[in-house]
Chains A and B, each alone.
Chain A
Amino acid sequence: MLLDFNSEKPIYLQLAEAIEDDILRGIFDEETQIVSTTEISVNFKINPATAGKGINLLVDEGILYKKRGVGMFVSSGAKEKILNKRKEGFFEGFILSLLEEASKLGISKDEIIKMIERGNER
């Protein structure tokens, strides 16, 4: 887990993404406990409310769930949820802007696909 305090992105969003990354990479498996809010805030020296906000974001999305008196756990199916979310983000963030830029430059759909294949070969 890494946070960038100089980034334009708010810390709690960075934290949520960092946890998602760790779930994708298998550092936190589904149905296992993740580090506590306290540990996170102490480790990064960030306000516990900020850490809590990041965690709650993932709880709202069903990626994490709370076991009373125990702590935070990764939901089953969390990995898939994250992947779907990221794919959606990939589509909106990259593909749509790619298509927009391509139409400005007059690049056809076939050409784009060829470019992608060329990129893949490298």
Chain B
Amino acid sequence: MNNTWKVSKYLISDFKKSLAIYYGIMLTLTVVFVVMAIRLVNRTTGNVTIGGLGSASLIFLFIAGLNSFKTNFKFMQANNVSRKRFMAGSVVTLTIVSALMAVIDSVITVILSTIIPYEGFFKQIYNSDFFFGDVIWSFASLTLFAFLGFFITMLYYRCNKLMKVVVSISPVVLMILINLINDYKMGIVRIGITKFFTWAFSLNSLNPYIAALNTLIGAALLVALCYLLIYKAPIKD
């Protein structure tokens, strides 16, 4: 375990810079929002709500996940760290960063909603102001996006040229296929997908903890796939 933490230590230090830049931009944007919101509120009756800062964090972690494989994998290989140890370190790091960002984002949400009519995703979907609920739910979503990014890079990394093309077009083919089946079977696929997401995000009972649990299970599945992908992974440029 000692070694896993040492891997994380490097990965986190590698994260620090981009995280600082990201929150620098977010802070600027927040200030802009606040200024804009105050003006709008003055002009109108005060019914306007703003939201969506949370999606920026999801995208940030997705991209961070995409970028945190190859260079780090090679550096750890230079230090003779085993593949599974590198994976363990990466999982720990992405989890820690997700948790950290969940807390920061939830705090920002609390602050913003007290000074301007701001609503985060959590409030918008589950209509709750409970701070820890927001943290847990955000954490789950952030890990899912982080590991999705990580999984996609690893998938590409393990593919040869032909497989890369196949993997790249497969979502498009899948979409077309789903649409065809959907049209033919009178919307059965769309209904199924809607049902799935309603269940996954607990949109009927509006229980954020069930949603968080489901999301974490999704993230864990991605982690399991990543472990399969790192098996005997070669070193490539």
* Direct A–B touching, Cβ under 8 Å: no
Measuring CB to CB, which residues of chain A are less than 8 angstroms from any residue of chain B?
none
